[in-house]
């Protein structure tokens, strides 16, 4: 890694090899969810290395926030593409995800193979209530930013009632909220204008390699032919593996259905990973039966404790589902689980790469602030209600493990309360809270 540039001079051109080592490092240290990951990229790329200016960074970030999918991974892809063309974008995006995939496959196998060992069981016993508190914090964090008026609050409440009381599918909630936002934006624009966002002003940390006034590089200029080519290649990259899976296992095969299901999930992740988790549990637990509610909670805990996008919890879901259903037989259960995890990762992140490589030139054609559309503002409000429902879902299965007719788990409730105090009152980090909760759970389980 090269030394940091002098603060008064424009940094030299960044070699692809140097970018490779940075993106690889980022893939291993990107803890803390999208907010933490974006913060790391800002500190490293804007403040320290000055690969691009604050304004250009925010411009790219605002575009990524409009898209379905993991915004931090998309931002890394965007910056990599801006610096080193398509290969740079692919490099940055893949390295952001790959370490997490390998780590989660390994942890998923340990979970399945050794989950009943007292120490491991105790660790997960302590983590589950902490995850409930973390999901509640996510609802509060998104809600405090998104629910800026009574109309948006009403949308959030309606979405909560729809999914909690009537089990309305998550895609219908998204479509309904988008329609309300579209109509509301025309009838009452002020009510559906975005409240806040990512910094309206830009700071300067010295001359940047890609500065405010740096001309758009040739590869980032819009071309109809290039757009058509990207869309064609993207369609083939989806159709070919999906076709092969259908030929090999049939449309109703587990691996085929996982690939199709998580393709749909990838297009519904407005508002981050917590927003799509209700859709995942509706399908993976309720419809397909790939895993149990308890396993889903454990998977989210593993996702929180590994680097990379939280949406990588889909790799855990796929691994457990394929492993338990023994898609390749009992002797090759690990192979089936690992292949399923790799497949759903491919189908989950493929749209993100296409959004950046296809839409990047359109974004670079103007350097003005991008605004949230009225439909997206309404969808974000609906997402808050959906995440609150997710917290209720987790809480029910953690505090009443045998159902409401069974006993109430007071110890889990106390751990959840302590985790909530640490998160809300003392602003402790997610990893720290999970580690302490795991230690408490292991202690209680071993002493019981």
One DSSP character per residue, 248-300 reads HH-TTSHHHHHHHHHHHHHTS-TT-HHHHHHHHHIIIIIIS--S-HHHHHHHH
Residue 53: inside a domain, yes or no?
no
Q: Is the pLDDT of residue 430 over 80?
A: no
Predicted pLDDT at 269: 67
Per-residue DSSP letter, 219: G
Kind and range of the H or E run holding 158: helix 150-165
Of 172, 31, 10, 202, which Cα lies nearest the Cα of 103?
31
Report d(CA 355, CA 376) in Å as an integer.
Answer: 16
pLDDT digits (tens, 9 = 90+) for 304-357: 778 888 889 899 999 999 999 989 988 999 999 999 999 999 999 999 999 999
Predicted pLDDT at 39: 75
Kindly report the number of other CB atoms within 10 A of residue 436's CB atom: 17
Predicted pLDDT at 187: 86
Q: What's the number of CA atoms in the CB half-sphere (13 Å) around residue 62?
A: 22
Report d(CA 156, CA 232) in Å as an integer.
Answer: 38
pLDDT digits (tens, 9 = 90+) for 35-57: 668 878 888 898 889 999 888 88
Q: Could you tell me which residue, 1 or 387, shows the higher pLDDT?
A: 387
Residue 152: inside a domain, yes or no?
yes
- Write b or e for each residue in 58-97: b if 16 or more Cβ atoms lie within 10 A of its Cβ, otherwise e: bbbbbbbbbbbbbbbbbbbbbbbbbbbbbebbbbbbbbbb
Count: domains in the chain: 1
Residue 400: inside a domain, yes or no?
yes
Using the Cα atoms of residue 15, residue 16, residue 19 and residue 24 in order, give the sign of their dihedral: negative
Of 174, 422, 399, which Cα lies nearest the Cα of 276?
174
Going by pLDDT thresholds of 50, 70 and 90, the confidence category of residue 235 is: very high
**Strand, helix or coil at 427?**
coil
Predicted pLDDT at 369: 39
Going by pLDDT thresholds of 50, 70 and 90, the confidence category of residue 32 is: low
| 30 neighbors 42 (Cβ within 8 angstroms) | no
Token pair, residue 65, equals 């926030």
Q: Is the pLDDT of residue 241 over 50?
A: yes
**Strand, helix or coil at 210?**
strand
Token pair, residue 428, equals 């402790």
| 364 neighbors 221 (Cβ within 8 angstroms) | yes
Domain boundaries, position 242: 98-194+221-447
Going by pLDDT thresholds of 50, 70 and 90, the confidence category of residue 252 is: very high
Report d(CA 9, CA 149) in Å as an integer.
Answer: 46
Predicted pLDDT at 4: 61
Angle at 17 between CA 54 and CA 49, to 5 degrees: 25
DSSP-based helix, strand, coil % in the chain, nearest 5: 75, 0, 25
Per-residue DSSP letter, 52: B
Q: What is the CA radius of gyration of the chain?
A: 22
pLDDT digits (tens, 9 = 90+) for 171-207: 788 889 989 988 988 888 888 865 434 444 445 678 8
| 195 neighbors 291 (Cβ within 8 angstroms) | no
| 354 neighbors 78 (Cβ within 8 angstroms) | no
Across the chain, what does the average pLDDT equal? 86
Residue 24: inside a domain, yes or no?
no
Longest CA–CA span in the chain (Å) reads 69
* Contact residues for 94 (Cβ-Cβ < 8 A; gap 6+): none
Of 201, 171, 198, which Cα lies nearest the Cα of 263?
171
Mean pLDDT value across residues 109-138: 84
Predicted pLDDT at 197: 40
Residue 6: inside a domain, yes or no?
no
**Strand, helix or coil at 192?**
helix
Of 436, 407, 406, which Cα lies nearest the Cα of 420?
436
Token pair, residue 18, equals 């140097």
Kind and range of the H or E run holding 26: helix 16-29
Going by pLDDT thresholds of 50, 70 and 90, the confidence category of residue 298 is: confident
Q: Could you tell me which residue, 74 or 274, shows the higher pLDDT?
A: 74
Residue 267: inside a domain, yes or no?
yes
Q: Is the pLDDT of residue 408 over 90?
A: yes
Mean pLDDT value across residues 370-390: 75
Predicted pLDDT at 127: 85
**Strand, helix or coil at 428?**
coil
Residue 76: inside a domain, yes or no?
no
Location of structure tokens 């003005």? 368
Point out the least confidently predicted range of 14-18, 97-101, 145-149. Answer: 145-149
Report d(CA 119, CA 442) in Å as an integer.
Answer: 6
Predicted pLDDT at 139: 82
Predicted pLDDT at 200: 40
- Put simply, whether the predicted model's pTM sits higher than 0.85 gets the answer no
Residue 133: inside a domain, yes or no?
yes
Predicted pLDDT at 201: 43
Predicted pLDDT at 98: 94
Q: Could you tell me which residue, 62 or 350, shows the higher pLDDT?
A: 350
Long-range contacts of 279-288 (CB under 8 A, 24+ apart): 279/169, 279/170, 279/171, 280/313, 280/314, 280/317, 281/390, 281/393, 282/167, 282/169, 282/170, 284/317, 284/321, 288/257, 288/261, 288/321
**Strand, helix or coil at 447?**
helix
């Amino acid at each position: 890694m090269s030394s940091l540039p002098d603060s008064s001079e424009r940094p030299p051109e960044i070699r692809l090899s140097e970018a490779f080592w940075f993106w690889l490092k980022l893939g291993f240290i990107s803890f803390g969810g999208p907010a933490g990951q974006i913060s790391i990229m800002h500190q490293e790329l804007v403040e320290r290395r000055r690969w691009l200016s604050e304004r250009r960074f925010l411009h790219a970030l605002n575009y990524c926030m409009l898209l379905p999918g993991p915004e931090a991974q998309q931002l890394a892809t965007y910056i990599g593409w801006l610096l080193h063309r398509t290969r740079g974008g692919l490099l940055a995006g893949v390295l952001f995800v790959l370490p997490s995939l390998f780590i989660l496959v390994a942890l998923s196998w340990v979970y399945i193979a050794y989950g009943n060992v007292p120490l491991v069981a105790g660790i997960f016993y302590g983590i589950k209530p902490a995850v409930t508190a973390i999901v509640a914090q996510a609802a509060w964090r998104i809600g405090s930013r998104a629910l800026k008026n009574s109309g948006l609050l009403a949308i959030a409440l309606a979405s909560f009632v729809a999914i909690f009381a009537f089990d309305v599918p998550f895609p219908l909630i998204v479509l309904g909220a988008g329609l309300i936002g579209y109509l509301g934006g025309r009838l009452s624009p002020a009510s559906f204008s975005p409240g806040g966002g990512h910094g309206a002003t830009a700071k300067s940390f010295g001359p940047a390699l890609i500065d405010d006034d740096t001309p758009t590089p040739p590869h980032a200029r819009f071309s109809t032919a290039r757009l058509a080519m990207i869309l064609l290649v993207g369609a083939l990259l989806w159709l070919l593996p999906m076709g092969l899976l259908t030929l090999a296992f049939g449309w109703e095969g587990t691996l085929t259905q996982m690939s199709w299901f998580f393709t749909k999930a990838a297009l519904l992740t407005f508002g981050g990973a917590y927003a799509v988790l209700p859709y995942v549990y509706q399908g993976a637990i309720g419809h397909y039966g790939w895993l149990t509610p308890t396993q889903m909670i454990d998977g989210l805990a593993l996702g929180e404790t590994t680097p990379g996008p939280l949406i990588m919890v889909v790799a855990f879901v796929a691994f457990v589902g394929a492993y338990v259903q023994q898609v390749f037989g009992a002797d090759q259960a690990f192979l089936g689980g690992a292949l399923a995890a790799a497949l759903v990762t491919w189908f989950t992140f493929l749209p993100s790469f296409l959004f950046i490589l296809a839409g990047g030139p359109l974004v670079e054609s103007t350097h003005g602030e991008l605004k949230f559309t009225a439909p997206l503002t309404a969808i974000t409000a609906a997402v808050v209600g959906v995440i609150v429902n997710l917290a209720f879902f987790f809480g029910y299965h953690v505090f009443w493990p045998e159902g409401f007719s069974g006993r109430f788990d007071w110890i889990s409730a106390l751990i959840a309360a302590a985790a909530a105090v640490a998160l809300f009152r003392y602003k402790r980090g997610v990893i720290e809270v999970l580690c302490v909760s795991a230690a408490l759970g292991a202690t209680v389980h071993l002493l019981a």
